[in-house]
Amino acid sequence: MTTWRGVRLREALRLYVITDRALARGRPDIEIAREAIAGGATALQLRWKAGPLSEALQVGHALRALCREAGVLFVVNDRVDLALALEADGVHVGVSDLPVPETRKLVGESMVVGFSPETLEQALAAEAAGADYLGVGPVYPTTTKPDAGPAVGLEHLAQIAGAVGIPVVGIGGITAVNAAAVIRAGAVGVAVISAVVGAEDVREAARQLREVVDAALAER
């Protein structure tokens, strides 16, 4: 397996779509993922918050195969064990999950490790401990993650993106309308749930977001 760590990662973080059963409104994760990728998603994260892990494994295997076929980065949220079992390309941990040093120790050197810092200090420590990218947010208000806390804003994102050497993606309340500002603040891409997974036309929603992100990156 070729690794995504390093230069390839920045490109892969342009449009990072995260699964969500509730927002999919009965549409299977694999269908949402297929449409999102057809629209231009460059990374896909399996975010499993409820239901048996055996089912997460089943869904994950299908998503893993789809992403491998499409050349899309496949990341598992929170669970290092699930990421390893699925041979995911990456694992994403937050402040309540296994810390970055332990995560890196368990997954080895080829798997991408993402981290969601709440402060600049946490961001710098995660980079030093071997995180490959950071997810910073919620940039804008969101109802998708009830415990996400208040919006941190573009300045907080810009401060972290300017201080670390690893790529940063913005997350939280991002749409095609406000995504360009996130890129201008220093992010290499945007991570979204509702703007794509909750859309009536998932493919078109992804296409529009990707267009905005690509245009904003080209202007930097």
CA atoms of 4 and 91, how far apart (whole Å): 12
Least separation in angstroms between CB 103 and Mg ion: 11
Active site residue 116: yes
CB 196 within 8 A of CB 36: yes
Q: Which does 78 bind (CB under 5 to 8 A by kind): ligand TZP, Mg ion, none?
A: Mg ion
Torsion of CA 163, 131, 70, 21, to 10 degrees: -100
Q: Which does 19 bind (CB under 5 to 8 A by kind): ligand TZP, Mg ion, none?
A: none
Q: Which does 188 bind (CB under 5 to 8 A by kind): ligand TZP, Mg ion, none?
A: none
Query: By CB under 5 A, is residue 153 in contact with Mg ion?
Result: no
Residue 49 annotated as binding site: yes
The catalytic residue among 34, 47, 207, 210 is 47
Least distance (Å) from ligand TZP to the CB of residue 171?
5
Cβ-Cβ contacts under 8 Å for 168 (sequence gap 6 or more):
133, 134, 135, 136, 157, 160, 161, 186, 187, 188
- Which residues are at the interface with ligand TZP (CB under 6 A)? 137-138, 142, 144-145, 148, 171-174, 192-195
Triad 139, 142, 145: Cα angle to 5°: 105
**42 contact, one of Mg ion, ligand TZP, none, CB 5-8 Å limit per kind:** none
Of 5, 10, 145, 184, the catalytic one is 145
Please tell me which residue in 21, 64, 116, 207 is annotated as part of the active site.
116
State whether the Cα torsion 152-156-158-161 is positive or negative.
Answer: negative
Q: Which residues 35-94 are close enough to bind Mg ion by CB under 5 A?
A: 78, 94
Token pair, residue 141, equals 């208000």
Rounded Cα distance, 82 and 214, in Å: 32
The span from the CA of 7 to the CA of 5, in Å, is 7
Which residues are catalytic, by number? 47, 116, 145
Numbered residues of the known binding site: 45-49, 77-78, 97, 116, 142-145, 173, 193-194
